[in-house]
Amino acid sequence: MLVDSHCHLDFPQLADDVEQVIGLMRANDVGCALCIGVSLEGLGRVLQLAEAWPMLLATVGVHPEETGVREPTVDELVELAGHRRVVAIGETGLDYYWHKDAPEWQRERFRTHIRAARAAGKPLVVHTREAAADTLRLMAEEGAAEVGGIMHCFTESWPVAEAALDLGFHISLSGIVTFRKAVTVRDVALRVPLDRLLVETDSPYLAPVPYRGKTNQPAYVRHVAEEVARLRGLSYQQIADATTANFFNLFPEARTKVAQ
């Protein structure tokens, strides 16, 4: 069995086809997918999915790209994290690609999420883009190692991966690992300790080869796992077993929440 550690099934590209999406997950050995919250306004739809489908779990957070949305407080995130289908805080982090001015509100929002994760005792789902140094600095300053979590859709260099691993975080690889030109990601895929590796789709985005450019969905995480297996000289089953065990070790409460 495989787990897709990061997807957005509530986004319009997928929201009307969830039944088919679930069917294709079943047909491809994908037994669980983590549906990621990106705003308080949209959280209701994410929770509905996780309530409706035993294979789906949820996270609560406000994405660093989001502007014009309600800013969460620590208390609010902690309370929302108490929902029975929520296993993590995020997606949070820093994104200086979409916000090139590196605004202070992003760092404040990230700090709020780390504080909430520690208060709730739940791991973090971290997004970082062109902001690795600040991301790691804030994780260290706010004590993110206490809860750990996922560096999602990892595209940074090996030294950044190493620093995140040192903080107790897992590295999650997306379909980018199947792109031939993604040399850095493929290098990281070889070097992450097998017991700290996760796989994800980030669907509806970043469909792996051979679906590149199309709408992504959790079933395609199989192609991510197959490529990681090929790179590391392991079998698909070894990667599936390891990444699934890692997911349930990181989120012990997910074991009983996911109907397998």
Pairing of strands 197-199, 169-173: parallel
Of the pair 50, 229, the CB lying nearest Ni ion is at 50
Beta-carbon contacts of 165 under 8 Å, excluding residues fewer than 6 positions away, are 171, 192, 193, 196
Backbone angles phi, psi at 129, to 5 degrees: -145, 120
Beta-carbon contacts of 20 under 8 Å, excluding residues fewer than 6 positions away, are none
- Whether residue 252 is preceded by a cis peptide bond, meaning omega within 30 degrees of 0, is no
Rounded to a whole number of angstroms, the minimum distance from the CB of residue 200 to Ni ion is: 9
Of the pair 216, 246, the CB lying nearest Ni ion is at 216
Of the pair 36, 189, the CB lying nearest Ni ion is at 36
Residue span binding Ni ion (CB under 5 A) among the ranges 64-72, 88-96, 108-116, 226-234 = 88-96
Rounded to a whole number of angstroms, the minimum distance from the CB of residue 241 to Ni ion is: 25
Of the pair 206, 229, the CB lying nearest Ni ion is at 206
Size of the site for Ni ion (CB under 5 A): 2
Rounded to a whole number of angstroms, the minimum distance from the CB of residue 36 to Ni ion is: 5
Residue span binding Ni ion (CB under 5 A) among the ranges 15-23, 85-93, 191-199, 235-243 = 85-93
Rounded to a whole number of angstroms, the minimum distance from the CB of residue 32 to Ni ion is: 16
- Cα gap 145→13, rounded to integer Å: 35
Residues within window 28-57 making contact with Ni ion, judged by CB under 5 A: 36
Beta sheet of 30-35, edge-to-edge order:
2-7, 30-35, 56-60, 86-95, 124-129, 149-151, 169-173, 197-199
Of the pair 9, 229, the CB lying nearest Ni ion is at 9
- Cα gap 204→35, rounded to integer Å: 11
Binding-site ranges for Ni ion (CB under 5 A): 36, 91
